Amino acid sequence: MTMTTFVELTRFKVAPDQVEALLAARPAMLTDFRADREGFLSARLVRLPDDEWLDIVEWRSADDFTASRAKGANLPGIAAFFAAIAEVVGDEQGVLADPEGAR
């Protein structure tokens, strides 16, 4: 049986004076996700041009993602990370089509 991985892609802007805060908050945010978010698998943060970032988060299922989204910034590490974000530019979800990747 093949496991389906649900992927959340969130593109956002961070003001230059908030980049250090964003990066400093990331480890605690991931710790909080691992402790509090059922179905959280992994996350990768990509720095893009023009003060934009892309967060690629993998979930066990769409239901796990939906439950996580409903919790919002309920823990300090998550709240600190979200606080550094100036604006969400885009938010998309999908199913991972290449689960093995290019490893």
For residue 1, the model assigns a pLDDT of: 45
Q: Tens digits of per-residue pLDDT, 60-75?
A: 999 999 999 999 999 9
Picking from 44, 57, 53, the residue whose alpha carbon sits closest to that of residue 88 is 53
- For domain 6-93, say whether CATH 3.40.309.10 is its number: no
pLDDT reading at 4 higher than 70 = yes
pLDDT reading at 103 higher than 60 = no
Q: Tens digits of per-residue pLDDT, 14-54?
A: 999 999 999 999 999 999 999 999 999 999 999 999 999 99
Q: How far is CA 72 from CA 25, 29, 47, 48, 68, in A?
A: 16, 12, 23, 24, 7
For the chain, the domains span 6-93
Collapsing DSSP to helix, strand or coil, 48 comes out as coil
